[in-house]
Amino acid sequence: MGNRVAVVGVGMSNFGELWEKNLREITLEAGMMAIFDSQVSGSDIDALVVGNQSAGRFTGQEHLGALAADVGGLGNLPAYSVEAACASGGAAVRQAYMSIKSGEHDTMLVFGCEKMSDVNQSEAMNTISVAADWEWEGMFGATFPALYAFMARRHMLDYGTTEEQLSKVTVKNHANAAHNPFAQFQRPVPLKVVMRSGMLADPIRVLHSSPITDGAAALVMCSEETAKKYTDTPIFIEASTQASDTLALHDRESITEMKAAKISSRQALDRAKVEIKDIDVFELHDSFTISEIMLTEDIGIVEKGQGGPALDEGLTEIGGKFPVNTSGGLKARGHPIGATGVAQIVELTLQLRGECNGRQVDGAQRGMAVNTGGTGATSIVHILGRD
């Protein structure tokens, strides 16, 4: 288990409502970009893995591992697909990490993809809801906006978090996405517009929520020895960890804490032998803006209850001490469910290479991605660093 694992290539389709493209086309686009970026030959790839939540419900297509190998012309190599709700992309990255680290595979192509706009909004919401506890939550009409509204309202009650602070996450992430050419929403949004947007489930407004998005992201990952053949500046995955929590909110000790993220982030820091202050840039799962606030607390950027004030102080802005969601996050970059966890690694890789024009964190040497599934029932954390 001594092999170090590197990211040597990254690629993404545009994120948005991609009416003119189907699932296989956006997946192929992201994969080809990652291969071209890495300069790895397709014949050098010895396995691939796809992260996806619900292609069968959104598009009618399952068996995505074989599909990706087929459309990519990659022949008879092993091809896997994994599902972990909104953390499916992170699960794909972790699957590749473990496969390479074990020595089973050497060079892998990793995809995350979702095509969500081919069904109507009601069907999309029903499909997304199966990532919660369907028997105890979804069956009774508890959508994700409603579940996160419970979490937000309790956080506001316990810690004094305000609707304005929920809205400042949106403002920050839209400002970052304005410099991301792949983002769904490449424009800033004023605070007053966010706070006047329609109410989904009090206190969650439309502009506190990530959108319905189509998109794909891809990585080429390989062993350290192989990475040296392709680049002088590989980005290494220093830690990959995962933890779980109860699927339903009502079974948790606290609905203002994402315990799985708390556990997996501590494990990742321990394995990478670093502290939270050593991380220069973060990609945190902001499916709803309260999620980003809670995660900044649960991974240790700030103390519990201080996620809101951290926004008032600019702590998580580019130029702040702990820049969060430089890509625009799920809120503004977009949230094609299976692609999100891979897109987080794409952003961190570009940041550590110094290739994020307009949104670059100066001198970034190490980054952390936190990809959560459901209302935090799954948490997958990766720490990346320059050599």
CA atoms within 13 Å, Cβ hemisphere of 378: 18
Query: Domain range spanning residue 379?
Result: 131-210+237-386
Say whether both 192 and 221 belong to one domain: no
Say whether both 59 and 75 belong to one domain: yes
Say whether both 243 and 311 belong to one domain: yes
Say whether both 197 and 260 belong to one domain: yes
Please check whether residue 328 lies inside any domain of the structure.
yes
Please check whether residue 126 lies inside any domain of the structure.
no
Say whether both 228 and 242 belong to one domain: no
| Confidence (pLDDT) at 2 | 63
Say whether both 289 and 223 belong to one domain: no
Say whether both 230 and 81 belong to one domain: yes
| Confidence (pLDDT) at 345 | 99
Say whether both 204 and 339 belong to one domain: yes
Please check whether residue 125 lies inside any domain of the structure.
no
Please check whether residue 351 lies inside any domain of the structure.
yes
Can you read off the two tokens belonging to residue 122?
């009601």
Say whether both 201 and 321 belong to one domain: yes
**What's the structural domain count of the chain?**
2
| Confidence (pLDDT) at 36 | 97
| Confidence (pLDDT) at 353 | 97
Intervals of the chain under pLDDT 70: 1-2
Task: Report the CATH number at residue 84.
Answer: 3.40.47.10
Say whether both 14 and 139 belong to one domain: no
Taking the model in full, what pTM does it have? 0.98
- Catalytic positions: 86, 335
Please check whether residue 41 lies inside any domain of the structure.
yes
Amino acid identity of residue 90, one-letter, is: G
Say whether both 171 and 278 belong to one domain: yes
Say whether both 217 and 288 belong to one domain: no
**Alpha-helical runs (H) found in the chain:** 23-38, 55-58, 64-71, 88-102, 121-129, 144-159, 163-177, 191-196, 224-230, 259-272, 289-298, 307-312, 329-332, 340-353
